[in-house]
Amino acid sequence: MDVKGLLKSIGEDGLLKLTLHVCEEGLKLLEEASSASDHPVLSWCMLVDLDGLNMRHLWRPGVRALLRIIQVVEANYPETMGRVLIVRAPRVFPILWTIVSTFIGMFQKSY
């Protein structure tokens, strides 16, 4: 299922809840990894697979949902989010990144 189909089936709030669930699972895994090792594990990495992303995903509800997710994750998990790795990014990715990164900078400046 693509992003547009996912948004239609679970909505923006559902997508946000799914993201928060993933972040909470990441926190649990940090605790487990810290317990299993000799040192604390303080951050986690998110792998984002953009296979199948194309121009039809650059529509207002999709970009709005992505910006909302970024804002919530930055506000609630800044100390644990280490890196976000993007794989299989299509040619359209630089366009999407240009749009989204502008807003990421605005969110970071407001804190």
The pLDDT tens digits for 50-81 are: 777 666 665 666 677 777 777 888 788 878 87
The pLDDT tens digits for 25-53 are: 988 999 999 999 988 999 888 777 777 76
Q: How many domains does the structure of the chain reveal?
A: 1
The domain in which residue 37 lies consists of 3-109
Half-sphere exposure of 90 (CA within 13 A, CB side): 11
Q: Which pTM does this prediction carry?
A: 0.64
Report residue 45: phi and psi, to 5°.
-115, 140
Burial class for 80, CB neighbours closer than 10 Å (0-12, 13-18, 19+): middle
Tokens, residue 83: 């890196």
| CATH number of the domain within which 79 lies | 3.40.525.10
